[in-house]
Structure 1
Amino acid sequence: MANPTKIPTKQKAPAGKARRRRGISPWVPNQHGAWAMLISPAVLGLIAGLVAWVRSDGSALSLLVFLAVLVAWFFGYFAFFAFGLAVKARNPQRRARYLRPVYVYGAVSLAGIAVALLAQPQLLWWALPFAPLVIVAVGETVAGRSRSTLSGVSTTIASALLYPALVGVGSGSGAGSVGVVAWTGMLFLAAYFSGTIPFVKSMIRERNNPRYLTGSIIYHVLAVLFVLGLVLLAPVGWAAGVLMVATALLALFRAVYVPVASRGGADWNARRLGMAEVPVLLVACAGVLATLL
């Protein structure tokens, strides 16, 4: 017989529901697809920058600049992510909670920028290509379009710019003196990562929009021609050229095959999409690294 005096205990809500009630953590970006775009150019740029540093017999101070630039980049992105949450927040208390990491991460990023500029003042020239891209991304976020194609493309191009910037750190040169090969690597990365935006949108947010799928396929066809032109005009070497063109062709294939297969009933969820992108990303990274040979 049940005890009538027993006080019923409050059941715990499932962890997923509890997290939704608390909201997204502003301290850790949850856009998993952005991590590849965030990390890959940084790692590739660091490797290329260190190669340039060794070849130019650079000073030990450049090693500190590498660290400062990477700190500025990553913490700047963390601040931007939290800022996007703060803009969308309707609750003043939640907005205040989201703004705390903006201030903390923003201060760390600015400190990294200050250290880098004090050590290598010529890095200030990189503000010319970076600033418009940052303004576009912030403007889209303030306008409530943080997931727009324009915002995504601006951030991917900014990420790709990190590659020649780090090469410049290693060689001790400004934006205009990093060399054709470094800029070719940047343009290739920008073209590849920009293509992932319409592809993913054609699978998720614009899944039922045939015009968006058509636009994605057209972009990837043009990207193949663009990359082919790059490797023919720039002295990247045959290995890098083959790998870069292979990346563009693989990206075109998945931009056509995956949406068609999905509409035919295949289960292409976000996790599977991410896993399928890994081989393409590895070929792209190998193509950039091959330019260093």
Structure 2
Amino acid sequence: MTITAPKAPTKKRKKGISAWVPNQHGAWAMLISPAALGLVGAVVAMSRSKDLTWHPFIAVPAILVAWFFGYFAFFAFGLVARARTARRKKQYLAPVLVYGPVSLVGIVAALFAQPQLVWWALFFAPLVTLAVWETLHGRARSVVSGVSTTIASAILLPVLVMSGQNTTMGEIALPAWGSAIFLALYFTGTIPMVKTMVREKGNQRFFYGSVAYHVMALAIVVALVVVGKAGAVASVLLILTMVIALFRAWWLPVSARQGRPWTARTVGMAEVPVLLVACAGVIATLI
């Protein structure tokens, strides 16, 4: 009698990407951080208001709903654009048809409470159009697409602060504008940094471009701190963020060339402390 060895358990085939939950971990940081920081700025503005009305209590949550569900719809739309079969397109289209209207309801509610928010369309419309254009042409992960979405995320902060102040765009507190520029510079820098570790690994021209960008970003932040007369704590944290960002933009690719193993996950984990310092700097600026 022959004894057959038991069959090794077969691995279950991985299912396709879920269009309902974005799987880009770096995008989650860009999505949540400006929203949370903007909410802090809005609450601070509301607490300092001498004639607080009901309008911010409707507009601020509505803006957040529009932002998050708008991104969820955009993520699913990107999957629809890249899908190669009709079945996949139909599968990925469902979240677009759910999240899109929810985001639209948030926009309508925010405009109902504070019609002056419509002026932000001058900023968001071209940025969203650019990101959609890149997605439709198969370049969803291009530098242009990434920069447009990071700038849009940074602009969310002054939008929320303006809503909390229940005022116009021209009356937004200067720290909110400075914080938005800082976040745009910081998050934009993560794009070339990550690419030097993954898609452009070993590309020296891209590496030098990434380092050069971070040097320029550091200089701009120093100028913002000086001109804006930020407080001591905020100044230290904002500048420290960009110094660390510059160092990691140089050191991570160099260490990778020297044989240190880096995965997308470990690169993302290494960014967490930098992000926390950046958030602390913005909070110190706003309060």
* TM-score, normalization by structure 2: 0.95
Return the offset for 1:138: 0.5
Partner of 1:30: 23
Shift, 1:191, TM fit: 0.2
Specify which of 11, 14, 19 is matched with residue 11 of structure 2.
14
1:72 aligned onto 2:69: no
| Cα separation, 2, equivalents of 1:13 and 1:37 | 38
TM-aligned CA deviation for residue 63 of structure 1: 1.7
Deviation of 1:60 after TM superposition, in Å, equals: 3.2
Give the superposition deviation at 1:12.
Answer: 7.0
Deviation at 1:167, TM superposition (A): 0.1
Structure 1 residue identity aligned to 2:38: G
> Where do 5+ consecutive residues of structure 2 fail to align?
none
By how many angstroms is 1:67 displaced? Answer: 1.0
Three-state SS of the structure 2 residue aligned to 1:133 is helix
1:120: how far off? 0.7
Q: Which residue of 2 aligns with 1:6?
A: none
Contact 1:125 1:174 in 2 (8 A): no
| Structure 2 residue identity aligned to 1:54 | S
How far 1:45 moved relative to its partner?
Answer: 0.2
Indicate the SS of the match to 1:291. helix
Say whether the 8 Å CA contact 2:202–2:257 is kept in structure 1.
Answer: no
User: Does the CA contact (< 8 Å) of 1:27 and 1:101 recur in 2?
Assistant: yes
Which of 239, 246, 259 lines up with 1:245 in the alignment? 239
CA distance in 1, matches of 2:244, 2:142: 25
Deviation at 1:103, TM superposition (A): 0.9
Which residue, out of 210, 213, 219, partners 2:207?
213
Matched, 1:277 2:271: yes
Q: Is the 8 A contact 2:55 2:166 kept in 1?
A: no
Q: CA deviation at 1:61?
A: 3.5
Q: Report which stretch shifted further, 173-182 or 91-100.
A: 173-182
**Unaligned stretches of 5+ in structure 1?**
4-9
> Which of the numbers 158, 168, 171 marks the counterpart of 1:174?
168
Q: Is the 8 A contact 1:181 1:235 kept in 2?
A: no
Aligned-residue identity in percent: 57
Report the RMSD for the aligned CA atoms in angstroms: 1.8
Q: CA deviation at 1:179?
A: 2.1
Match of 2:43 in 1: 50
CA contact (8 A) 1:68 1:112 kept: yes
Q: Aligned partners of 1:40, 1:177: CA distance in 2, in Å?
A: 23
Give the number of equivalent residue pairs.
285
Deviation at 1:250, TM superposition (A): 0.3
Structure-2 residue corresponding to 1:96? 90
Separation in 1, partners of 2:168, 2:147 = 24
8 A Cα contact 2:176 2:286, kept in partner? no
Q: Which residue of 2 aligns with 1:118?
A: 112
> Could you tell me how far apart the structure 2 residues matched to 1:44 and 1:252 are?
23
CA contact (8 A) 1:231 1:241 kept: yes
The Cα offsets for residues 181-232 of structure 1, whole Å up to 9 and x where unpaired, read as 1100000000000000000000001002111111100100111101111111
Using the alignment, how far apart are the partners of 1:50 and 1:13 within structure 2?
53
1:12 and 1:142 map into 2 onto residues whose CA distance is 41
Q: Is the 8 A contact 2:175 2:285 kept in 1?
A: yes
TM-score after normalising by structure 1: 0.93
The answer as to whether partners of 1:42 and 1:70 remain within 8 angstroms in 2 is: yes
The one-letter amino acid of 2:149's match is T
Looking at structure 1, the residues matched to 111 and 270 of structure 2 have their Cα atoms a distance apart, in angstroms, of 39
Go from structure 1 to structure 2 and tell me whether the alpha carbon gap of 1:88 and 1:11 turns closer, same or farther (over 3 Å shift): farther
2:39–2:160 Cα contact (<8 Å) kept: yes
1:292 partnered with 2:286: yes
Counterpart Cα distance in 2 of 1:12 and 1:105? 39
Give the distance between the partners of 1:163 and 1:96, measured in 2 at CA. 35
Partner of 2:127: 133
Please give the per-residue CA displacement for 1:88-117, whole angstroms capped at 9, x wherever unaligned: 001001101101101100010000001110
- Deviation, 1:38, is 0.5
Distance in 2 separating the partners of 1:249 and 1:93 = 48
Match of 1:87? 81
Please list every run of at least 4 consecutive aligned residues from structure 1 whose deviation after the TM superposition is greater than 4 angstroms. 10-13
